[in-house]
Chain A
Amino acid sequence: MMMAIESRRRGRALGKGAAALALVCVASLAAALPLLAQEEHGEGAGGGGLFAINPGLVIWTWVIFLILLFVLRKWAWGPILGALEARERRIQEALDGASRERDEATRLLEQQRKLLDESRDQAQQILADGRKAGERMRSELLEEARRQREQIVGNAKEDIERERDQALEVLRREAVNLSISAAGRVLELEVDSSENRRLVEEYLEDLARESGREKSG
């Protein structure tokens, strides 16, 4: 506040000084005019010469110039210079905006490219993963199928073996019974039943052993 008042007072003092100075400038030159005019008259050149001294014309020039300065300042220089500055500012803004937008566009393009690269990588990854999973699944299925087949075949073989052994057993027993009943019928009394039975059974044992050897052979 104090400083503002101080600077205003200084400004006013400076203004007074400037006005005084302007007056001194004008007055010192105006003082020269009568001297020149006297010299002119002394030579008797009169009004119409090339160097005619006419203070009135000086005043007219000042008045006309100052009016022109005022008029132009108000209605010409203000608008023209204002429009020029506005246009310069507008052009500068447009240039700044263009450069800003170009940077933005470059940045976006870069981003887009990165995104594209990333998605391509991802697609590749997904494809590879899928292929691997498919491969694994196929091999698992194959393995499973093989194992199942083997199991089925193994089971069947076992079943057949067992059925055959059972059939042989049954057959053998049947044969023994048949033989005994047949032989009993033939040799009824002749042969001690228990002795013969032992013989026949031995024989049948031999038969079975032989057939077993044959089978293994």
Chain B
Amino acid sequence: MMGYAVFWLMLAQAGHGSQGGQDMGAVWNSHMMEEVADAHHFIIPGLNRVIDLPQLPPIHIGALSVDLSPTKHVIWLMIAATLCALTLIWTARRTHGKGAGKAPKGMANVIEAFVIYLRDEVALRNIGHGGERFVPFVLTLFFFILFMNLLGLVPFGATATGNIMVTGALAVLALVAIEVGGFLHLGPRAYLKTIVYVPEGLPWFGKIPMALIMTPVEAIAKLARIFALAIRLFANMTAGHLVILSLVGLIFMAGAGAGSIKDVVWPAPVLMAVAIMLMEIFIALLQAYIFAMLTSVFIGLVRHPH
């Protein structure tokens, strides 16, 4: 992301010459959106070469027209998935088979520590009895989101999790895992009770209005959790990148300013951009953790209703 931005900006500056700050602000503004939003072309990292991605005719399913042509974020999804698979399979090779008898060390040990923490403290603790079946799902969710988040911080990279469609799709997968997990664990009758809320110990004329009022609330609560999951990840990633991009823009704005401003002001946005960048690394981890954690918590909540 950043590398491309700087490169692009230098080009832009060379092109615009001495046109000054105001124009540049507007150009930068639209560029920021271009960085964050999805597109039908892919820029090869480091080369500044634009590839137009193939456009497929949309498929119509009822009222919905689905355009399956790959976009920039699809490519980054694939890159994240590939890196994720390679890293974790490499780790598996190190810990399994030949390396099984040896003490874990190095990078494999770091990833293993993550795996152990996610298995014991996130998945098993929150899902409770029978949580072993969800461990691969929660682990995959965490590492996939982590890789997508981190790819946004790599020069020339982009974050697929900065797209509401991607986070929404992941949240729907989480919803399916939560509800199906609960259904299989509780059976149809008990599962229905998690939607249709019938309070215990009330006479029938109390139960019916309570059920009528509370059922939509319960149903909405199920969807609201998922909605929050999608929005939280999307907003965190997008906001972080917009802040960094703004600060990077500010560096050049300062550079294009009048003499005295140019020489004095520039360190401030540089320092701020570096600080936010460091924070973003933390947030990339944190948001992946929160997504995995909350998914586990919700799975546990449905499986063990109070």
Contacts and interface: CB of A to CB of B under 8 A. Distances in A.
A54 B165 contact: yes
A4 to B, nearest CB: 18
B165 A14 contact: no
A2 B224 CA distance: 43
Given A48-B39, A64-B78, A33 B95 contact: no
A21 B192 CA distance: 11
B96 A56 contact: no
B46 to A, nearest CB: 24
Nearest to A10: B187
Interface in B198-255: 238
A203 B171 CA distance: 164
Contacts of B119: 81, 84
A25 B176 contact: yes
A14 B184 contact: yes
> B89, B92, B137: which has the most chain A beta carbons within 10 Å?
B92
B169 A57 contact: yes
B179 A75 contact: no
A62 B173 contact: yes
Contacts, number: 168
Interface stretch (A65-73, A103-111, A176-184, A191-199): A65-73
Contacts of B163: 57
B127 to A, nearest CB: 15
A87 B119 CA distance: 15
Nearest to B66: A55
Interface in A65-95: 65, 67-69, 71-73, 75-84, 86-87
B59 to A, nearest CB: 9
Contacts of B267: none
A80 B115 contact: yes
B71 A54 contact: yes
A170 interface: no
A77 B85 contact: no
A48 B33 contact: yes
B92 A57 contact: no
A68 B81 contact: yes
Interface string B45-82: 00000000000001000011111111101100110010
A26 interface: yes
B91 A80 contact: yes
A59 interface: yes
Interface string A180-213: 0000000000000000000000000000000000
Nearest to A23: B176
Contact of A72 (B64, B66, B100, B136): B136
Contact of B238 (A22, A37, A50, A83): A50
A65 B144 contact: yes
Contact of B74 (A60, A69, A87): A60
B81 A21 contact: no
Interface string B114-147: 0110010000000000000001110110011000
A141 B180 CA distance: 106
B175 A25 contact: yes
B100 A83 contact: yes
B112 A54 contact: no
Most buried by B among A29, A47, A52, A53: A29
Q: Which 5 A-B pairs have the closest CB atoms?
A: A79-B96, A61-B169, A76-B88, A79-B92, A57-B165
